[in-house]
A = this chain, B = another copy of it.
């Protein structure tokens, strides 16, 4: 019987409310598929921890969670209490950089029973992945300000693309495309306007494409690509983009399918040198925290992605199937989707469907 050690970090706000449901469903799937999961809980990466200790995480956070098979993460951030750059850069973005989680992966899928803002689309029509570079690009730490408070004042920030950084994310994306029936990759660019880094990105895509002759690929400038997410979401299979472009596309995609509140994500270190983080796309949602009404599906779906990443494909799939069946039933959904179940009732419903 395979055993995995999972670091559990509920974090802030509704992260703490949806986490127990995520674990409940993971346990049901593990039981069914003969997998053993050991959950170790950590209270850091949260406002509560910061209030007590003056920092988001203990100094030895890497020793504490660096040997786990994966990190199951709720949500972090509470802008009214702590600035984003302290909470996010002190935890989530630290994980991405220091655990070299260079892939950010999110599904875009039209699910049954989820109200979509797009007209005339049916479940099955839209089903693709956004692969985002997660460590470099536009999110760099290089830049600064000169001549403050004068008319000459200017601020710069560099976008940085390394050969290693670009090639490895493209390789991951092409491999993913190759593993899918459509074998189709779309690259997000803006080489007609951003004239130095983006032509380099295009150049590396072309070079990588040569190694994957079975994959059909195309590219769109980010402006028209966002338009096509709305106009032709059925065109896509695997979409790869830089840190910023991937960030945009992986919020816009779920919005187009109405799933932004329930979408999952993985921050993945494919080599397994470090643990990967799986977290719902939604944040800590201070406005509804503490009321027990948060939708646990994003957390649960992230658990499915985690199992797939660990190699437990069957167990992961059984969770995704259970989510689809739960969503299709009106009463077992939470309020945000027009149902009347609370967080726990929805989590239990999915667990029973597994």
A residues bordering B, Cβ < 8 Å? 84-85, 88-89, 93, 116-120, 138-139, 141-145, 150-164, 190-197, 199-200, 222-224, 226-228, 230-231, 243-244, 247-248, 250-252, 254-256, 260
Known: A93-B193, A159-B159, A222-B248. 10 other contacts (CB 8 A): A117-B231, A138-B193, A156-B161, A157-B159, A158-B158, A222-B244, A223-B252, A226-B255, A227-B251, A230-B230
Task: Report Cα–Cα, A93/B84, bound state, in Å.
Answer: 36
Question: Are B85 and A197 closer than 8 Å at their CB atoms?
Answer: no
Option from B120, B156, B243, B255 in Cβ contact (under 8 Å) with A160: B156
Option from B153, B197, B226 in Cβ contact (under 8 Å) with A157: B197
Which one of A139, A150, A155, A191 has the highest number of Cβ atoms from chain B below 10 Å of its Cβ? A155
Question: For the complex formed by this chain, how many copies does it contain in all?
Answer: 2
Question: Are A223 and B247 closer than 8 Å at their CB atoms?
Answer: yes
Task: Report Cα–Cα, A247/B161, bound state, in Å.
Answer: 22
In the assembled complex, how far is the CB of residue A212 from the closest CB belonging to chain B, in whole angstroms? 21
Residues in B with CB closer than 8 Å to A152 are 163
27 CB contacts below 8 A, A to B, read A84-B191, A84-B192, A88-B192, A117-B119, A119-B120, A138-B193, A143-B158, A143-B197, A145-B196, A156-B158, A156-B160, A157-B195, A158-B158, A190-B244, A193-B243, A194-B244, A222-B247, A222-B248, A223-B248, A223-B250, A226-B252, A227-B251, A227-B254, A227-B260, A230-B230, A230-B252, A230-B256
Task: Write the chain B residue with the least CB distance to A136.
Answer: B154
Which one of A143, A226, A250 has the highest number of Cβ atoms from chain B below 10 Å of its Cβ? A226
